[in-house]
Amino acid sequence: MGTDGFGRRIDYLRISVTDRCNLRCVYCMPPDGVEWKDPNLMLTFEEMERFAAAAVAEGISKIRLTGGEPLVRKGIVEHIARLRALTGIEAIALTTNATLLPRMAFHLAEAGLERVNISLDSLDPDVYAKVTRGGKLSDALAGIDAAFEVGMSPVKINVVVVRSLDQDLLSFARMTFDRPIHIRFIEYMPVGGDEEPAPGGACSSESSAVGWTEADHVPSDEILARLVVEGAAAGLGALAPVAKGDAPGGWGPARYFRFDGAQGTVGVISPLSHHFCGECNRLRLTADGKLRMCLFSDEELDARTVLREGSDQDVRALIRAALAAKPESHNMRRGTVRRMSQIGG
Ligand code: SAM
Ligand code: SF4
């Protein structure tokens, strides 16, 4: 069993399969996308699978594929099937902007993908287009429908709450009445762009940098308070906490609530206002083969070199070294050199 230096059980690996994306969300990507890296610097799927097998031997049982947009990488369906076939893997999950799900959901489900987290920050087509710099809301909504049609479960929606976007949170809460969908409101995090800070905040800034300002951060307690007040005013009924055992099978630190009579839940993820480092259960592998112990720390181990020059035992030793080096907690509000799309949020 993988245990880190602070006694935390580490059983969850997030693999970023690409740092490219078909959208350009203002808080995640520069308008022109990321720099074209030498393809030799990126891990092949075979290398990722070899790493995953070593990780399973060191106690990992859950893998989430993310990016960039994981569905833009050619061969992703077959990659998922091979990961799913690893002995010791409990489930494979995917985080996606959903725009390619209408044509891919069926094949992904056939490959063994069961769980999907979909990123969607607004149900207003104009706000969605502004946040994603040109994305079409109808594509993302069709992706959600496709995930349900092929029976993925749970289907969760990630909403990054940014104050200057003035998002209509209740429009998301209403979705939980129609079907078992799980909305997670995520605090906007200071990740990326440390090398070129953007004044004026992510959404007011049209500059190339990824910006984060204190003013745009909305604490989860405020999000919950808004849901209670606005929900009551709109006649949605009471919002009650969901017991851990009834929560939608989470691998992470979300806290879940349910409106009276709703099929799905609303949750909050609060990395800044409520530290959850004590429950951290994960490691991250970037698309260029760096092993990250903490989302908020730029400390990385070079898995690519070990994968290319070392034995399977060397890869396992690197994973044990990562567990030993995992920090107790994060130095939040400091920013990171890599953007979220390069880390795999
Ligand atoms: N392209 C996929 C997607 O959008 O779901 C996967 C990669 S994306 C980097 C993963 C998640 O990170 C998304 O839910 C996105 O909203 C979130 N994210 C990106 N930048 C963030 C930030 N600064 N604060 C909070 N969440 C962020
Ligand atoms: Fe792409 Fe996801 Fe980043 Fe948006 S959040 S730019 S969809 S990687």
- Rounded mean pLDDT, 315-333: 85
Q: Is residue 74 part of a domain?
A: yes
Q: Is residue 221 part of a domain?
A: yes
Ligand 2 pocket mutation, candidates 133, 341, 343, criterion most atoms within 8 A of CB: 341
Q: Is the CB of 185 under 6 A from ligand 1?
A: no
User: Which two structure tokens, joined as six digits, stand for 51?
Assistant: 């790493």
Residue 213 has what pLDDT?
A: 77
Cis bond upstream, residue 154 (ω within 30): yes
- Give the integer Cα–Cα distance in Å for 211 and 205: 8
- Give the integer Cα–Cα distance in Å for 238 and 341: 37
Closest CA to 5 of 322, 335, 331, 339: 322
Residue 271 has what pLDDT?
A: 76
Q: Is residue 4 part of a domain?
A: no
Residues 176, 258: contact at Cβ < 8 Å? yes
Residues 149, 102: contact at Cβ < 8 Å? no
Q: Is residue 2 part of a domain?
A: no
- Give the integer Cα–Cα distance in Å for 98 and 173: 19
CATH number at residue 136: 3.20.20.70
Q: Is the CB of 24 under 6 A from ligand 2?
A: yes
Q: Which residue has better confidence, 107 or 246?
A: 107
Q: Is residue 1 part of a domain?
A: no
Q: Which ligand is nearest to the CA of 131?
A: 2
Residue 13 has what pLDDT?
A: 97
List, for residues 17-41, the tens digit of each pLDDT value: 999 999 999 888 888 777 777 889 9
Q: Which ligand is nearest to the CA of 284?
A: 1
| Res. 63: pLDDT tops 50 | yes
Evaluated on CA atoms 242, 244, 245, 248, the torsion sign reads: positive
Averaged pLDDT of the chain: 88
Look up residue 35 and give its DSSP letter.
Answer: -
Q: Is the CB of 29 under 6 A from ligand 2?
A: yes
DSSP string, 220-275: HHHHHHHHHHHHHHTT---EEEPPGGGS---SS--EEEEETT-SSEEEEE-TTTS-
- Rounded mean pLDDT, 228-237: 93
Neighbouring residues of 217: CB distance < 8 A, sequence distance ≥ 6: 163, 187, 188, 272
Q: Which residue has better confidence, 201 or 191?
A: 191
Residues 213, 201: contact at Cβ < 8 Å? yes
Question: Considering its fold, how many domains does the chain have in total?
Answer: 1
Name the pLDDT band for 331 (thresholds 50, 70, 90): low
Q: Is residue 3 part of a domain?
A: no
| Res. 198: pLDDT tops 90 | no
Q: Is residue 6 part of a domain?
A: no
Using the mean position of ligand 2's atoms as its centre, give its distance from the Cα of residue 130 in Å: 13
Listed range (11-20, 105-114, 168-177, 207-216) with the worst mean pLDDT: 207-216
Listed range (32-46, 70-84, 86-100, 138-152) with the worst mean pLDDT: 32-46
List, for residues 148-165, the tens digit of each pLDDT value: 999 999 999 999 999 999
Measuring from atom 8 of ligand 1, which residue has the nearest CA? 345
Using the mean position of ligand 1's atoms as its centre, give its distance from the Cα of residue 313 in Å: 33
Please give the residue range of the domain that contains residue 212: 12-343
- Give the integer Cα–Cα distance in Å for 96 and 316: 29
- pTM (global) more than 0.75: yes
Q: Which residue has better confidence, 24 or 204?
A: 24
- Give the integer Cα–Cα distance in Å for 152 and 7: 33
> Exposed, middle or buried: residue 127 (CB in 10 Å: 0-12, 13-18, 19+)?
middle
Distances (CA, A) of 311 to 228, 245, 306: 54, 41, 8
To which residue do tokens 């992470």 refer? 252
Q: Is residue 143 part of a domain?
A: yes
Listed range (77-86, 102-111, 134-143, 211-220) with the worst mean pLDDT: 211-220
Share of the chain above pLDDT 70, in %: 90
- Rounded mean pLDDT, 244-253: 76
- Give the integer Cα–Cα distance in Å for 117 and 98: 9
Residue 332 has what pLDDT?
A: 57
SS3 283: strand
